[in-house]
Structure 1
Amino acid sequence: MDEIINKCNEKIKEKFNIGYHHLRSIEISECVYADDIVIIAGSEKRLKENLDIWNAELERHNMTINKKKTKVMVITNEGKKLNMKIGQENIEQVKKFKYLGAVIEESGVQDIEINERIVSAAKVYHAIKSTIIRKREISRNTKMKVYKSIFRPILTYGCEGWILDNRTKSKIQSLEMKYLRAVKGITRCDRIRNSDVREELGIKSMTEFIENKQLGWWGHLQRMHNQSQVKQVWEAKPQGRKRKGRPKKTWDEVIAEIITTRGSTWREAKQTALDKKAWFKFIND
């Protein structure tokens, strides 16, 4: 696959600029994970050219693009219609697409992805509520193992890059406490504090768990060298006109707030994060 990627990159005339990192233009034309490929371009014309290059190179290696699974999407608020084909077959244009388990939506916001996580976790809760969570014959320890190994991972998959508002945090907490209160065999009518429930079960809040995952990823980024493409893409500052209205909170601002609430500064945290063990201790203390 590496040979195909290199050949395609040699033939692609213009890559997509996603922003600047340390005054250097960061450009990409694809994201590849095993045989899952996302081809990226700044215009319909360039996308057609890039798709043709990939299609020809794959065929040269006796490989074909699965036309039924292939979709096209425009990240825009204008509802632009594309006419994309592989050979003579049209590619379906979609408003959202699931890639590596995460939903990417045409407006570029995370709301749909986060809501799908909440819905998926809620389905798990209702599926096992009567057979596991509320069943007296099953130990509390086993119920919490299910929480940690199944329920929580489904709810927080991909949370490292989330930007949560208070409304979404409330929805996550509500679902979290449904599970934990069911484990204890109590309801909201029992008027027991959420913090007391978590303390008795020996579990951190879902919000704190998500924050820890985000800090873990941020620390990993700090330890990457500046030539790492992952770091360059993640930290690149996009150019262009800003949308009207109040600016949305950035991921860096979310991380800065978490760091501040934990008694450190951005500069101190960047230094601490370079030491993996020290950063792990900072996150979990």
Structure 2
Amino acid sequence: MESKGLKVNTKKTEVISRSRRDVEVDIKDKDNARLKQVQESKYFGVTVDARGESQVAIRVGVAAAWNKGRELSDVISDRKMPRKLKMKLYSTIIRPVLLYVAEVWTMGILEATEMRMSRRIKYVTLRERERSTDIRRELGVRDINEKVREIRMRWYGHVKRREEGHPAKVAMEIIVPGRRPRGRPKQRWRDGKRDWETEDPGC
């Protein structure tokens, strides 16, 4: 990096060891100072963790979406406001925050957050036992899992069109040698893509 005119601030540099177990690493800079090891870190707005999972990023996205919803609570909680306007605010302001960088997540469950927000807009509670599909149809909002699938496959197409040797393409297609642990393995990004292609060959 220094050969390209860049200078690394080692005091701000953090190291994450991606493993199923807690692993201590000893990485030092050129002055023999040990770099700080952390369990999770935020990089360009994306939270990554040592387990290689997306749950931390999903929780951050959910919290950010609720914060945005609270900023708009005066409108969303106002019964005099048209429902169409509320759904417009949700679709253009809140939902994009909830789905930020969902392209690279392993699939997580986001329906609960979306349905809580949808019920607030429609003024119904769980006790009224309305089906989620009926609420989505009445409000005119798509299943959030379908939206995640759409943006993930769009991103997949962008990466596949990259030139050979591009870092994103190499990372997506790499196959790590060795055996996976016993038991049900954690789902990888490409596992979700393969499942979708099996369900719908047109994806």
**TM-score, normalised by the number of residues in structure 1:** 0.62
CA distance in 1, matches of 2:134, 2:40: 40
1:189 equivalent to 2:127? Answer yes
Match of 2:48, SS state, is strand
- Measured in 2, the distance between the counterparts of 1:72 and 1:114 equals 21
- 2:178 match: 240
**Match of residue 111 from structure 1:** 55
Percent identity of the aligned residues? 27
CA distance in 2, matches of 1:247, 1:137: 50
| 1:159-206 residue CA offsets vs partner (Å, 9 max, x unmatched) | 122222xxx42xx21110111121122222233221121112211011
Distance change in 2, residues 1:221/1:89 (3 Å):
closer
Q: CA deviation at 1:83?
A: 4.7
Q: State whether residues 133 and 179 of structure 1, in contact with CA within 8 Å, keep that contact through their aligned partners in structure 2.
A: no
Residue 162 (str. 1) matches residue 105 (str. 2): yes
Give the CA deviation at 1:225.
4.5
Please list every run of 5 or more consecutive structure 2 residues that lacks an aligned counterpart in the other structure. Answer: none
- Cα deviation per residue 1:222-258 (whole Å; 9 max; x = unaligned)? 4445454422221111113422322333322312222
* Residue 19 of structure 1: aligned partner: none
Counterpart check, 1:179 vs 2:123: no
Asked whether the 8 Å contact 1:71–1:92 carries over to 2, the reply is yes
Asked if structure 1 preserves the Cα contact closer than 8 Å seen for 2:53 and 2:106, the reply is: no
Q: Structure 1: state its 5+ residue gaps.
A: 1-53, 270-281
CA contact (8 A) 1:67 1:86 kept: no
**SS, match of residue 190 in structure 2:** helix
Partner AA of 1:57 in structure 2: S
Match of 1:220 among 158, 182, 189: 158
Residue 148 of structure 2 is matched in structure 1 by 210
Which of the pair is proportionally richer in strand?
1
Structure 2 counterpart SS, 1:221: helix
- Identify the residue that residue 82 of structure 1 maps to in structure 2: 26
| Residue 196 (structure 2) aligns with | 258
Question: Deviation of residue 211 (structure 1)?
Answer: 1.2
Task: State the AA in 2 paired with 1:181.
Answer: R
Could you tell me the TM-score, scaled by structure 2's length? 0.83
RMSD of equivalent CA atoms? 2.6
Secondary structure in 2 aligned to 1:97? strand
For residues 248-275 of structure 1, give each alpha carbon's deviation from its aligned partner in whole angstroms, at most 9, with x where no partner exists: 333223122223333x2xxxx5xxxxxx
**Change beyond 3 A, Cα 1:85–1:152:** same
Q: Does 1:70 align with 2:70?
A: no
Secondary structure of the structure 2 residue equivalent to 1:244: coil
